[in-house]
Amino acid sequence: MRRGGPSFLILLLLPLAHAQEWRLTRSQSLTQEGATAWRYTLSPVGKEARELWQRLALQYQDHLRAGYRVDLGSWRLYFLGGRLRLEPHCPKVNPACLTFGALPVEKAVQDRFLLELSTLLDQALAQARATGGTLTLSGFFRVEVKRGQAPPYPARPSGWAL
């Protein structure tokens, strides 16, 4: 019986470890004048996740420059009148709500990676609406959200130029 127990535990822990490819950090600086606005940052965790995001982000930047939209689950990013705009997209997120990259990566891997990003992006925007602050998706875009502000949100590139 001992043999079955540990391997069963390992199998349960593996999906949890793979579901942790993104990190949401929240920070605020304190100065003599008081606290600054909250900063929320979404970034990939681990070498493989960083490499996958770097390749996806480059393709997404090219999509945007070419006039296409990028669907990130419950959010969509696109240019309107020469400015980036982040607006709600899919109310019930599923893989069809995502812009996939043309990469030599299994669809299931991109599904999991982008669905986790979508979940944390929702969480980060909800927190930013509650407190006000800046949300940055590493290497892709930045939005400033005022307390209680409803979408859509004006965005700007982060880590790349138009």
* pLDDT tens digits, 76-133: 999 999 899 999 999 999 999 999 988 898 999 999 999 999 999 999 999 999 999 9
Q: What is the pLDDT of residue 4?
A: 42
pLDDT in tens, 25-77: 888 776 767 767 889 999 999 999 999 999 999 999 999 999 999 999 999 99
Predicted confidence at residue 18, as pLDDT, reads 33
pTM score, whole prediction: 0.82
The amino acid that residue 90 corresponds to is: C
Model confidence at 12, in pLDDT bands (50, 70, 90)?
Answer: very low
Give the residue among 12, 75, 17 at the shortest CA–CA distance from 45: 17
